[in-house]
Structure 1
Amino acid sequence: MIRIVSLLLVGLLLSCDEDVLPKPNSFLRLEYEKATYKSFDDKEYPFSFQYSKDAKVIEKKKYWLDIYYPNLNATLVLSYMHVKGNLMFLLKDAEKLTFKHMIKADDIQAVPYENTQSKVYGKIFEVYGNAATQIQFHATDSVSNFMTGALYFYAKPNYDSIMPAVHYLKKDIVRLMETIEWKKEEYF
């Protein structure tokens, strides 16, 4: 009996060619439809731009808008100010607000943006880590107009979880910046 059990154990040990490993964790793969855009061109506003057809524009107060993405539970908050010789203050204030997230952020990458034909100059900031906002930007014509934007999700800021949505919405934000057109100064 002991010989039979011993032979079975030896046979069992010799028959295993591969190490047994635990099943790896799976990851949710999120796929988003290709974005299509429409124009925001309200004659009451000193600017126009394109935004995703899947989003809703909500007017907050004069020249301030929220672009709400109901399917992603996210909002791009847009603020507009008229430049009155205070461009340096507005630029520093916008960047100061971005770098306040450094407490929770792992890194902040800034990418300059320039479109001399449309007179739109600015920066897009991508905030990596569990900060309250993952993308911020500012845009100006350096003379009369200044706009800032910040992307917020209505969820606990877990960057690994919202990263696919951040990358998807970053394309919308770049499109918005690429299509900004400043209107005449009749608004001031």
Structure 2
Amino acid sequence: MTDQYKITRQFHKKKRRKPSTAFKKRKRNSRRYRKRVTEQNQLHGKHIIAQIYATIIQLFPELFEWMREIEDFREASDYDLAEIITASLAMFLFKTGSRNEFNNLSTDGNFQKNYEKLFGFKMPHLDTVYNIMKRLEEKHLEKLKRRMIKELLDRKCLYKYRFSKQYIVAVDGTGVASFGHKHCDQCLHLDFGHLGYSSKPIK
């Protein structure tokens, strides 16, 4: 062993130091934080699932039967249309960023088990869902939405949210209504270079 090698080895030995107490504390806190975030996400996920289940059972008990009534343009398939449409909705309900992310979730045994327990369906691959949904005529989905809205109206679920005895339909808007005159005492005055009044929801 040469003297140069000994010197280099001794130099590196001196450089190695044990992690400081502050470093260990930061690492420990980081692990605790990740664990807490994971637990919170799991709890939030369970809460969302519980809400979805309650909404379907209480307000739309026949939802899946309505889906099955849609005319299927396929000759044969491993999944019926109710399973396909439900999977496409689930991707948004569970706030997955992409089809690939949802497919990755489907490989999780617990997620797949909870999905099947919640909806009563198998989980199709989202590429399969995409290929079918892009060929499904929009009129069928529009009819499904109308039936759901009619169900809500018949049950008077939206009755207390009416405005001037009318049901409100918001389409990417911030206001409820606008007038050229003061419609009521709750109207807010907005000046756009001319006199105007509008009614806005209070947050």
Verify same fold: TM over 0.5: no
TM-score, normalisation: structure 2:
0.23
**Whose helix proportion is higher, 1 or 2?**
2
TM-score, normalisation: structure 1:
0.25
Larger radius of gyration: 2
Of structures 1 and 2, the one with the larger relative CO (CA 8 A, separation 6+) is: 1
**Whose strand proportion is higher, 1 or 2?**
1
